[in-house]
Structure 1
Amino acid sequence: MRHRTLLERSLIALLCLAIALSAISPHDRLTWVLEITPALILLPLLVATHDRFPLSSLLYVLITLHGLGLIVGAYYSFARVPLGFWIQDWLELSRNPYDRLGHFMQGLTPTLLAREILIRLRLINGPRMLAFLCACVAMAASAVYELIEWWAALALGQGAEQFLGMQGDEWDTQADMFCALLGAITALTLFAPVHDRSLKRFQPASAGQPTRAAAPGQVSHRCD
């Protein structure tokens, strides 16, 4: 059994505390339930799979940041988050852009999660195919989330307005998916080198040799 590091225990405690605090008088209880559900599903899942397949420290930090963003959006509703109003005033935008930041993370985090799984299980041969498939996973996740929003709108009618956070934008779905694409591109360009360093501790050491991580383009990431 692998013991959790201080960082991992701290991140779990932070998410649990944030969820508990957000349950106290949220702006809209139904919206809170809908928005908080992904965090309530993923947190126990990550805890349950930790011993068998622990993730890199970078990914745990990004998942925590993503979760905190969802929790804040659930508490205020995404169209009313104060940080979004500050950005709106600063950039002179016509709407609160906080939900766009959430969809950016919806592209960034799944991309790195897919990248870590594919690299560590040695499923992909070549960096270009690795990057392509990771971006595809992120865009698929974004599309599924948009379908969930559509189903919620059909089921709840006008009650889904705060959950959708469209703010009168008829192109909201396309803009959300574009933000997810930007997140995926950011993950594969700016974060990939940092991610490779974070993966070093998972690389098996050969006999008498120190552990070192190989870049995706230098080894074959394919199952035997």
Structure 2
Amino acid sequence: MHILIIEDEPKAGDYLQRGLRESGFKASLARNGRDGLHIAGEEEVDLVVLDVMLPRMNGWEVLAALRANVATARLPVLFLTARDEVQDRVKGLELGADDYLVKPFAFVELVARIRTLLRRAPVREDDLLRVGDMEIDVIARSVKRQGKAIALTAQEFNLLHLLARRQGQVLSRSLIASAVWDMNFDSDTNVIDAAIRRLRRKIDDPFDLKLIHTRRGMGYVCEAQAEPSA
């Protein structure tokens, strides 16, 4: 599970990130509200641990923006803040926070609350994904187009699954690299482009309707529509 920490105090942020990683989570850290909001919208995040007093955007503003965006509206958010007044807790919950923990805190309690929220979180993807005439069985890890089975390697399936579950969204090469390979590649690498080419040979080349499209200078998108004209 991927936890996003939005915390501007350096020692607190580093402590949270290290502790959550040692507890078995993937943990990302943003030092201000605007960067945190960007990460939440661009990466596959399962829960946000959010401070209130943040530079660039405060926690109230970040939460309101998350809830206003369809893609992040149901993302679990736990406020972790030194603001312990009753009105602050009420405000956070009314804005849509799922939990509110006051500093100082016991780390084991934080982890317990995070695990509880993750268990309650709704499933965010269907067992069967459809893009045009393509069907992806997530559980069986199988793919069909027009009823014809398409054999993919494990990595090819992971790449296609990422593109399909974010159908209609342009995904950058760096996001794809992080999500599929769990690595950060140099921006000039052709690893992602080569992987896309191999996937297209199986998914798109035998069929008239193309599903994987290039958005020059931006990345790749999976959708059932024709390539834009030049």
Give me the TM-score of the superposition, normalised by structure 1: 0.24
The structure having more radius of gyration, on CA atoms, is: 2
* Alignment TM-score, normalising by the size of structure 2: 0.24
Q: Taking CA–CA contacts closer than 8 Å with sequence separation of 6 or more, which of the two structures ends up with the larger relative contact order?
A: 1
